[in-house]
Chain A
Amino acid sequence: MNETEQKTTHFGYKTVAENDKASMVADVFHSVAAKYDVMNDLMSFGVHRLWKRQTIASSGVRKGHHVLDLAGGTGDLTAKFSQLVGETGQVVLGDINSSMLKVGREKLHNLGLVGNIDYVQMNAEMLPFPDNSFDVITIAFGLRNVTDKDKALRSMYRILKPGGRLLVLEFSKPEHEVLSKAYDFYSFNLLPTMGKLVANDSESYKYLAESIRMHPDQDTLKAMMEDAGFEQTTYQNLTGGIVALHRGFKY
């Protein structure tokens, strides 16, 4: 056995070779891209919009800022950032998946948002930007799909300007046992069924539920951010900890 074959990671509850995870995640998102927004609204009962609003409120974005919306998917955050940074600012919508970028670009063009948005297909572990390039980096519901999260966080830290901030919006661990049980039932029974009915793809939504459980909890992710170099790292539980918003600064 060579060394490459020995390195493994999680893909939901499965253990897969590290090199295979990116393409497996890509397959999931190629499959769901077209119905991504509809499914987000259905699965979260529209609450994902409020979680994203909270992210924007915490971002401190203002005119002239350079913002990277990593794993930006269909561009919900980019749409707002584009309006807030104005003509003198710039927003980069980055995603590893070309299908998601395509859907995002089309959606933002239809909203009339052009001029200060760039679309870049990129891997969060090796961000193709010079050091100290961005005032704000956000990654919403993307970090859990990244193969090497520590490497990705270090990469984000590198391209963030001193004084800049990283916001990680991600599913996390519910604070209460009762909520946790109800959430498990919903995730493993109802979600795949909804995925089957709406997007004709139950496997991708089964992966979604599993990948959430395998993602580090609030305190572990906070520690990972601190290890990557972020300071004043804090998190805010949203909807009882179903989602957590982590924030860290680079000084």
Chain B
Amino acid sequence: MALEKTAKSNNGAMTPEFFMLPNFVLSLIERVLNQALSLDPQLPQKLSAVKHQRLVVEVRDWQQSIQLVYSAEQLHLYSAQSNENADCMISADIGTLLALKNPAMLTQLIRQDKLDLQGDLNIAQTYSNAFSGIDIDWPEQFSKYIGDTPAQQLYLHLKKLKQNGSKTNTKISTMLTSLCQDELAITIHPLELEQFKKTNRELKGKVAAVEQRINALLNSFSSPKPL
């Protein structure tokens, strides 16, 4: 049983379980999600279809199972002790779970064997749809603290900053990709070297000829002329 398993794992030194870190992280995520719920008026409506139904998400690379329940206009997140009471169970690694932002990917990921799903597929799709379509009216939220005009300006600045950041990110990424993939011209090509050597040899021959001619001329000037 999960309870026994954890008891044994606690017998070691000060593990993350000692500090209750998984529970602490889940409580923080729960708080953030509930904050999002309170800021997007559409979200509770989207989640109403899965009210009181349990979604268990097993994150393979973290070796953690999380259960999600939506009830009383709030999301509840707990570490799952077992999958026995789950209405829907998803098992995947974190990269695959992040890809679920696009709900259309769900069936594709199942076909690719990247994601295991047991139970009601609609529950997973509803959560995926709800969280991928979060729409928070940020200017409205900012305006509660700083007034309408500054809120709008702040929002536009932040939007521009985000766009610039995204552009810079793309640029850096492209540059890094080309640096990693393309052959760099650090040395000259062998044909160019051959051509250079050939030209060099010709030049050397011409210089030698000129030198010989100069020497001959010098000799002719220095030797006394017969009277």
List residues of A whose CB falls within 8 A of some B CB.
47, 49-51, 53-54, 56-58, 60, 62-63, 80, 82-84, 86, 175, 232, 234-241, 245, 247
B60-103 contacts to A, CB under 8 A, are 67, 69, 71-72, 74, 76, 78-81, 84-85
Q: Is the CB of A53 within 8 A of B26?
A: yes
Binary interface encoding of chain B residues 28-50 relative to chain A, with 1 for a CB under 8 A from any of its CBs, else 0: 00000000000000000000000
- Measured between alpha carbons, how far is A85 from B51 in the docked complex, in Å? 11
Task: Tell which of B1, B18, B72 touches A83, judged by Cβ atoms closer than 8 Å.
Answer: B72
Which chain B positions have C-beta within 8 A of A236?
3-4, 6-7, 10
List residues of B whose CB falls within 8 A of some A CB.
1, 3-4, 6-7, 10-11, 14, 18-20, 23-24, 26-27, 51-52, 54, 67, 69, 71-72, 74, 76, 78-81, 84-85
Contacts across chains A and B counted by CB atoms under 8 Å? 73
Q: Is the CB of B10 within 8 A of A241?
A: yes
Q: Is the CB of B20 within 8 A of A57?
A: no
A-B contact pairs, 6 of them (CB 8 A): A50-B20, A51-B20, A57-B80, A63-B52, A86-B71, A238-B10
By beta carbon, the residue of chain B nearest A64 is B52
Which chain A positions have C-beta within 8 A of B74?
83
- Measured between alpha carbons, how far is A197 from B98 in the docked complex, in Å? 49
Q: Is the CB of A57 within 8 A of B85?
A: no
Q: Is the CB of A234 within 8 A of B7?
A: yes
Q: Is the interface of B mostly helix, strand, loop or mixed?
A: mixed
Which chain B positions have C-beta within 8 A of A56?
78
Task: Tell which of B11, B79, B85 touches A62, judged by Cβ atoms closer than 8 Å.
Answer: B85
Q: Is the CB of A49 within 8 A of B27?
A: yes
In order of increasing CB-CB distance, the 10 nearest A-B pairs are A57-B78, A83-B72, A63-B52, A50-B20, A50-B23, A234-B3, A237-B10, A236-B3, A236-B7, A236-B6
Contacts A47-B20, A237-B7, A237-B10 known; A57 to B71 CB distance under 8 Å?
no
- Measured between alpha carbons, how far is A240 from B18 in the docked complex, in Å? 6
Task: Tell which of A84, A235, A237, A238 touches B69, judged by Cβ atoms closer than 8 Å.
Answer: A84
Q: Is the CB of B79 within 8 A of A234?
A: no
Q: Is the interface of A mostly helix, strand, loop or mixed?
A: helix
Task: Tell which of A50, A51, A63, A175 touches B10, judged by Cβ atoms closer than 8 Å.
Answer: A175
- Give the most central of B69, B72, B80: most A CB within 10 Å: B72
- Measured between alpha carbons, how far is A57 from B74 in the docked complex, in Å? 16
Interchain nearest-CB distance for B125 vs A (Å): 21
- Measured between alpha carbons, how far is A50 from B23 in the docked complex, in Å? 6
Which chain B positions have C-beta within 8 A of A175?
10-11
Which chain A positions have C-beta within 8 A of B24?
50
Known: A50-B27, A60-B84, A236-B7. 6 other contacts (CB 8 A): A50-B23, A54-B23, A62-B69, A84-B76, A234-B3, A240-B10
Contacts A63-B71, A83-B76, A241-B10 known; A53 to B52 CB distance under 8 Å?
no
Which chain B positions have C-beta within 8 A of A247?
3
Q: Is the CB of B1 within 8 A of A234?
A: yes
- Give the most central of A53, A58, A60, A240: most B CB within 10 Å: A53
Q: Is the CB of B27 within 8 A of A58?
A: no
By beta carbon, the residue of chain A nearest B27 is A53
Interchain nearest-CB distance for B24 vs A (Å): 6
